[in-house]
Amino acid sequence: MKANNKVCIVGAGFSGAVIARELAEAGIESLVIDERNHLGGNCYTKRDEKTDVMLHVYGPHIFHTDHEEVWRYINRFTEMQPYVNRVKAVSDDKVYTLPINLLTINQLFGENFSPNEAKEFIKEQSDKSIQDPQNFEEQALSMVGKRIYEAFFKGYTQKQWGVDPKRLPASILKRLPVRFDYNDNYFKHAYQGIPKEGYTEIIQSMLDMPEIEVSLGTKFEDIEGEFLHTFYTGPLDRYFNYQLGRLGYRTLDFKTSHHKGDFQGTAVINYCDENIPYTRITEHKYFAPWEQEKFTNTVCYTEFSRYCESGDIPYYPIRLIDDKLLLKKYVSLGENERGVTFVGRLATYTYLDMDVTIRRALDTTAKLIPLLKRGEKIQSFIHSPI
C-alpha cells in the first residue's frame, strides 16, 4: 500500500481516532491503519450474537473524567448514558462492597462503626512501624493494616500482576480510595457514563470524514510510501522491532459463558482469594442499565490475567525496575526518530484512562497541526513516558 501527501496514523483506538478527526477538521488528510479487523482498539464493543447484549469485548470500560472539555468532546460523537461503577468483591466466600468504604469495614469486622469510629479503628489496624513505604505491600499495611490487605489486595494483586506485591511500587495502591462513608461509587469524577450504543460507534463517528481513509487488517510494517508525518500509537518496543528486548505487559484471557436470566446480579465481582484462578467476573448487560430489562438471558466474562507473550494483546504495562530501564533506552531511540510522533498508552508504555488518552491526543494535535502546515520539525514525544 502506498500513500502520498497524507499523515499516517497507526492504530484505530481513541488516540488514533481523535488525532485523525482533529487533523481532518484542520484540512489535513490521513490514512488510519489497524492490524485488527475492527475499530476501537481495546475499547471495541459489539452485540452478542446469542443475547444481543452489548459486549465490552476486551473487558469493561467505564468513561469517567473531571475534564469538562473532554466530556463535551466525547458527547459530540455519541449519546452518553449515566453509569455508576459499583464493584463487589468475594473474599473467603463472603461478598463485600468496593472500594473500601464504611460498609466494607463494618462487613469485614462485624461492627457498626460510625465514620469517626472507623477512622480511629483503621488507624489502630495500620502498621505504624512503616514510615516510608517502599512497595505495594508496605503501602497497604501502613494504610489499612493486615486484615484488609489480606482480604482484598494481596491475592488479587498477585493474580493481576503475577508478581509478589513486595515487588510492585507503592504508588499503585495510592490510586485506590479508602472511604469512611457509605459511598460505593468506584470513581469520584464529575462526569461518568457509558455510550448508549457502545464505544465502537464513537470511533466510527470520529472517523467519518472525507479527509480520513481507514485500512483495517493492515500492519504498520507493511505500509510503503512517504507520508507527511506518522502518529504511532502501537507498542514502542515493536516500532523498533524489539531490538533491545520486550517491555513487560500483562494480558487478559476471557472465558465467555451464557446463562438464562441473571447470573450474578451486578456488573463486576472481583475474586480476591489467590486460590481462585480468575480475577473477576463481569456480566455485560449490567453495563447498559437503560436496556437491561429487555434481555431474558445474559452473558458473562470470566477474566484471567497472565504475562503477555509474543502474539498476545498487551493490556497493562508492568513497569518494574527492569522495564523502566529498558523504557529509557527505547525513549532514547525514539527521540532520535524523524517524521514520527509517539502517542497513546502503548507508544508511551503508560497506563492511561480513556479521558487522559483523549486529552493527550487533543493536546498533541493542537501543538502539531500548525507545525505540520508549516513543515517544521516535530517532537517524537509530546508527553514523555519517563
Q: Alpha-carbon Rg of the chain, whole angstroms?
A: 22
Taking only the tens place, the pLDDT of each residue in 201-213 is 999 999 999 999 9
Residue 244 has pLDDT above 80, yes or no: yes
Ranges of each domain in the chain: 1-39+207-245+318-386, 87-174
Can you give the pLDDT at residue 3?
A: 47
Per cent of the chain over pLDDT 70 is 98
Residue 365 has pLDDT above 90, yes or no: yes
CATH class given for the domain over 1-39+207-245+318-386: alpha beta
Is 351 an active-site residue?
Answer: yes
Q: How many CA atoms lie within 13 A of 17 on its CB side?
A: 25
Is 147 an active-site residue?
Answer: no
Question: What backbone phi and psi angles, to 5 degrees, belong to 316?
Answer: -115, 120
Is 175 an active-site residue?
Answer: yes
Q: Which amino acid is at 306?
A: R
| Spatial distance between the Cα atoms of 8 and 228, rounded to a whole number of angstroms | 8
Taking only the tens place, the pLDDT of each residue in 367-380 is 999 999 988 888 89
The answer to whether 334 and 272 have CB atoms below 8 angstroms apart is: no
Is 72 an active-site residue?
Answer: no
Is 353 an active-site residue?
Answer: yes
HEC secondary structure over 93-137: CEEEEECECHHHHHHHHCCCCCHHHHHHHHHHHCCCCCCCCCCHH
Is 280 an active-site residue?
Answer: yes
Per cent of the chain over pLDDT 90 is 89
Residue 199 has pLDDT above 90, yes or no: yes
Taking only the tens place, the pLDDT of each residue in 24-67 is 999 999 999 999 999 999 999 999 999 999 999 999 999 999 99
Q: Check for a shared fold between 1-39+207-245+318-386 and 87-174.
A: no
Mean pLDDT of the chain: 95
Catalytic residue among 21, 34, 73, 179: 179
Is 303 an active-site residue?
Answer: yes
| Spatial distance between the Cα atoms of 33 and 216, rounded to a whole number of angstroms | 6
Can you give the pLDDT at residue 1?
A: 46
Catalytic residue among 49, 175, 224, 309: 175
Can you give the pLDDT at residue 175?
A: 61
- Sign for the CA dihedral angle at 378, 68, 43, 208 comes to negative
Taking only the tens place, the pLDDT of each residue in 175-185 is 666 899 999 99
Taking only the tens place, the pLDDT of each residue in 90-109 is 999 999 999 999 999 999 99
How distant, in Å, are the alpha carbons of 97, 101, 146, 174, 340 from that of 108? Answer: 10, 11, 12, 21, 52
Can you give the pLDDT at residue 276?
A: 98
Q: Which of 270, 55, 247 is nearest to 176 (CA)?
A: 270
The answer to whether 135 and 167 have CB atoms below 8 angstroms apart is: yes
Topology of the domain comprising 87-174: protoporphyrinogen ix oxidase, domain 3 (1.10.3110)
